[in-house]
């Protein structure tokens, strides 16, 4: 069975939002000042050489407007080639492929996707899926790029009331710019 890994860029206070989604978020692209070649290599290693994506519809819409334009780019090449499993009520409007809509029982659909042959599955950006997938035991790893900033406002990695979980730190890397990359194995409920 292939793994489901959550990959997120996160502030010290748990914010993962990167752009104004019409909610007045004031810190668009807050990660940019910390980007380094070391960080880029760590990010590419986390994603792996081949992957599939699990995305919420909002993240899919943002990414489909950006990544297809990134030709001859290591991250763009990976993401453009990946099968995108998108949680959506409007599958007819999915154009960035290869793509497959995830409808109905999301947890059972993700379990079925994981049981198929293929590369590991990366969930990125889709904060509305994270807590539910962890609660139902379908996430295997969490990879966090933790930035040395407090934002105070924005979408958080976990929603209020997320089920308590245990994690084991399996790898860490610090960059000169202050980003700490941590990889955690999910060990289930606390």
| C-alpha Rg value of the chain to the nearest Å | 16
- pTM for the complete prediction? 0.92
Domain at 4-189, CATH class: alpha beta
Q: Give pLDDT tens digits for 149-162.
A: 999 998 888 877 78
Specify the pLDDT at position 81.
95
Per-residue pLDDT band for 189 (boundaries 50, 70, 90) equals confident
Q: Is the pLDDT of residue 188 over 90?
A: no
For the stretch 72-97, pLDDT in tens is: 889 999 999 999 999 988 888 899 98
Closest CA to 43 of 79, 15, 70, 12: 79
For the chain, what are the domain ranges?
4-189
Segments in the chain forming alpha helices (H): 37-47, 57-64, 74-81, 106-115, 127-135
What mean pLDDT do residues 106-114 have? 96
For the cut 90, the answer to whether the pLDDT of residue 137 exceeds it is yes
What's residue 119's pLDDT?
Answer: 97
pLDDT tens-place string over residues 4-58: 999 999 999 999 988 877 778 899 889 999 999 999 999 999 999 999 999 999 8
Please give the biggest Cα pair distance in the chain.
Answer: 45
Q: Please compute, for residue 157, the number of CA atoms within 13 A of its CA located in the half-sphere on the CB side.
A: 19
pLDDT band for position 98 (cuts 50, 70, 90)? very high
């Amino acid at each position: 069975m292939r793994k489901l890994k959550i990959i997120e860029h996160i502030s010290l206070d748990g914010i993962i939002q990167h752009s104004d989604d019409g909610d007045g978020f004031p810190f668009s692209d807050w990660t940019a000042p910390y980007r380094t070649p070391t960080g880029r290599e760590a990010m590419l290693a986390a994603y792996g050489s081949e992957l599939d994506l699990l995305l919420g519809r909002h993240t899919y819409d943002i990414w489909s407007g950006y990544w297809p334009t990134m030709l001859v780019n290591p991250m763009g090449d990976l993401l453009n080639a990946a099968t995108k499993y998108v949680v959506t009520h409007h599958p007819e409007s999915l154009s960035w492929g290869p793509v497959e809509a995830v409808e109905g029982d999301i947890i059972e659909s993700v379990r079925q996707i994981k049981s198929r042959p293929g590369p590991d599955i990366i969930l990125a950006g889709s904060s509305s899926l994270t807590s539910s997938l962890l609660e139902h035991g379908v996430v295997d790893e969490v990879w966090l790029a933790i930035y040395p900033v407090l934002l105070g406002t924005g979408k958080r990695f976990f929603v209020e009331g997320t089920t308590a979980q245990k994690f084991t730190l399996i790898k860490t890397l610090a960059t000169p710019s202050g980003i700490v990359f941590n990889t955690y194995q999910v060990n289930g409920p606390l």
